[in-house]
Structure 1
Amino acid sequence: MEADIEHLRGWIGREERGEELVTRSMVERFTATFDLEEDTRNGAAIPVLSHVCLTVPSVPTAKIGTDGHPARGDFLPPVPLPRRMWAGGHMAFHDDIRVGETVARTSRIKDVLIKKGRSGTLCFVTVEHLFEADGRRVISERQDIVFRGMDLPGGGLKPVQPAPEGHHRRMVEPTQILLFRYSALTFNGHRIHYDAPYARDVESYPGLIVHGPMQATMLAQFAADIRGRSPTRFEFRSLSPLFDDRSFTLNARDDVDGLKLWTAAKEGPVAMEARASW
């Protein structure tokens, strides 16, 4: 990795664009997946974080890697580490996206960094996204993607500190159907979310992994339910994985000018931490 870093940093500045009409049927599929009761008529504001289902690159099947993601080396750099995850991000919501509008996305590779972690070498790729709806800016987003190697036996283990309970709590059952439907909504072929034999036998996970963006979506929706309106800023960071073998909770407590939120499996550590503000 040390020898490749300058080559990988050559992807800084690379851009990708996408455009999509926001249809009522897409929003209805999103609300059905999360059991939301939202207005999906033409002109209605779409639910918070449903924009991650829009302008997703339609990569031909022939260009998909063995893990189910698009093969690296086009927009994202060809990082030679097998595991990939959405580690965190920050979103600023400037205006609503509405059903019937055309959304345009411009994405740009902001940075590529190599770090040494508890489990070995990590490569962080920072991507900035700008979303516009019918020509006006609606969302500015930073996405932090991390690539890493397979876990070594006994490596990276540390004592588990059970997560606290929030003042507000909601239980979630991560069924295989829910995970599959979210993968379909976001056109995400990553096999760790729906292919149990692959997740277990190839990537050595104990089960299917609950999507990071789906956890973030649930926390943002939870925040909106608590406060009665969607946040104007939302940031999150993944700390440990959640699997489909155990239910987990959404938690929240009041912060200085917003809400601190987190997910956690029963008796497990904080899996994702987030903050919403208005």
Structure 2
Amino acid sequence: MNEYEEWIGRKRRMHDIVSPRLAEHYAVTLDEILAEGPELPGIQWCLSPDALPPADLGRDGHPKTGLFLPKLPLPRRMWASGDLEMTGGLCLGDKVTRTSTITDISFKTGRTGDLGFVTVEHRYAVSGETRINERQMIVYRDDPSPDAPAPTPPQADIWQVVHKAQVKTNPTLLFRYSALTFNGHRIHYDHPYATGVEGYAGLVVHGPLQATWLQNVATTVLGRTPRSFTYRGMAPLICGATAIVEARGNGKELELRVRNGQGNFVTMQASAT
């Protein structure tokens, strides 16, 4: 770990605005799942994206590690989990400063091999006032072994839901969200790469898009922006499936999930208060 200690505490500050174009394109991409009101839950993940020249991109289309994020000896990147504390959401016209800090780097060995974890904390502020504090976990892993069996995704139990929405995933949806976030990760648009290199069953629906669905459903049920929101990816959601976005709870504390309507397994789970 000594070679990674110098990365801990590394900061980056970026600025962006919730412009009319961004807000409009965000709304039509989310369509009917977008919560009503002036705040735009989840739009923080569309702000201040990395924009680097081709020479600074890795094989997967992401910025190369070793620039802001540390260069780990593992090639596959996954947007794994995170938690947010919010005093309010972001609205049209907000000028947002995002301060990102690397707070932890760790390694462990799991059932599928070696894993590297990078924790990044993001602070989103408007006029110097913090609106969102986020702790994001990024996971790096080895390429899949061609002989390894596919992981078994967690099956969904029966919920008494207070809200349910459906999203029919397709390549156009993935393209639009990649465009909103300037996300070049090839698993979302390059089918041969997604299946032949990273071992997925098809194009992969973005983790932050699923978390955005859940945050909007939470806002709809609570009638306000959640004060806390925690999410965790459970299994890949493959493009072409119908995503079922559900919430259960008492209107103050919610459990939420995205499940694959074809296989009835959970792809992301969350909680909100």
5 Å-filtered alignment, 1:23-42, equals 23-36=19-32
Describe the SS at the equivalent of 1:35. helix
Deviation at 1:138, TM superposition (A): 0.8
Structure 2 stretches lacking a partner, 5+ long: none
Q: Which residue of the partner structure matches residue 6 of structure 1?
A: 2
Judging changes above 3 Å, is the alpha-carbon distance between structure 1 residues 251 and 96 closer, same or farther for their aligned structure 2 residues?
closer
Q: Which residue of the partner structure matches residue 83 of structure 1?
A: 76
Q: Distance in 2 between matches of 1:118 and 1:54?
A: 35
Q: Distance in 2 between matches of 1:18 and 1:73?
A: 18
Per-residue Cα deviation, 1:24-71 (whole angstroms, up to 9, x for no partner): 11111100101159799xxx8431111111122222222111100001
Higher relative contact order (CA 8 A, sep 6+): 2
Residue 31 of structure 1 contacts residue 37 of structure 1 at CA under 8 Å; is this kept in 2?
A: no
Q: Which residue of the partner structure matches residue 215 of structure 1?
A: 210
AA partner of residue 224 (structure 2): R
Judging changes above 3 Å, is the alpha-carbon distance between structure 1 residues 235 and 7 closer, same or farther for their aligned structure 2 residues?
same
Runs of 4+ in 1 over 4 A off after TM superposition: 36-40, 156-161
Residue 17 of structure 2 contacts residue 94 of structure 2 at CA under 8 Å; is this kept in 1?
A: yes
Q: Distance in 1 between matches of 2:152 and 2:85?
A: 35
Q: Distance in 2 between matches of 1:66 and 1:246?
A: 27
Deviation at 1:173, TM superposition (A): 1.1
Q: 1:243 aligns with which of 233, 238, 243?
A: 238
Judging changes above 3 Å, is the alpha-carbon distance between structure 1 residues 78 and 232 closer, same or farther for their aligned structure 2 residues?
same
AA partner of residue 266 (structure 2): V
Judging changes above 3 Å, is the alpha-carbon distance between structure 1 residues 60 and 263 closer, same or farther for their aligned structure 2 residues?
same
Q: Distance in 2 between matches of 1:237 and 1:6?
A: 29
AA partner of residue 201 (structure 1): G
Q: Which residue of the partner structure matches residue 172 of structure 1?
A: 167
Residue 165 of structure 1 contacts residue 251 of structure 1 at CA under 8 Å; is this kept in 2?
A: no
Deviation at 1:255, TM superposition (A): 5.8
Alignment pair present for 1:66 and 2:55: no
Q: Distance in 1 between matches of 2:169 and 2:43?
A: 19
- Between 1:155-164 and 1:106-115, the stretch displaced more is 155-164
Q: Which residue of the partner structure matches residue 22 of structure 1?
A: 18
Identity %: 41
AA partner of residue 150 (structure 1): D
Judging changes above 3 Å, is the alpha-carbon distance between structure 1 residues 22 and 169 closer, same or farther for their aligned structure 2 residues?
closer
Residue 119 of structure 1 contacts residue 156 of structure 1 at CA under 8 Å; is this kept in 2?
A: no
Alignment pair present for 1:269 and 2:265: yes
Deviation at 1:154, TM superposition (A): 5.0
Q: Distance in 1 between matches of 2:164 and 2:117?
A: 32
Judging changes above 3 Å, is the alpha-carbon distance between structure 1 residues 264 and 38 closer, same or farther for their aligned structure 2 residues?
closer
Describe the SS at the equivalent of 2:213. helix
Q: Which residue of the partner structure matches residue 107 of structure 2?
A: 114
Per-residue Cα deviation, 1:126-158 (whole angstroms, up to 9, x for no partner): 000111112211110000000001222453656
Per-residue Cα deviation, 1:83-141 (whole angstroms, up to 9, x for no partner): 10110000111133232231101100000000111100000000001111122111100
Q: 1:194 aligns with which of 183, 186, 189?
A: 189
Q: Distance in 1 between matches of 2:181 and 2:151?
A: 33
Residue 125 of structure 2 contacts residue 132 of structure 2 at CA under 8 Å; is this kept in 1?
A: yes
Q: Which residue of the partner structure matches residue 99 of structure 1?
A: 92
Deviation at 1:267, TM superposition (A): 2.8
Aligned residues: 270
AA partner of residue 271 (structure 1): T
| Structure 1 length-normalised TM | 0.90
CA RMSD between the two structures: 2.1
Residue 233 of structure 2 contacts residue 268 of structure 2 at CA under 8 Å; is this kept in 1?
A: yes
Q: Distance in 1 between matches of 2:39 and 2:90?
A: 6
Residue 123 of structure 2 contacts residue 134 of structure 2 at CA under 8 Å; is this kept in 1?
A: yes
Q: Distance in 2 between matches of 1:70 and 1:48?
A: 26
Q: Distance in 1 between matches of 2:80 and 2:147?
A: 22
Structure 1 stretches lacking a partner, 5+ long: none
Alignment pair present for 1:231 and 2:258: no
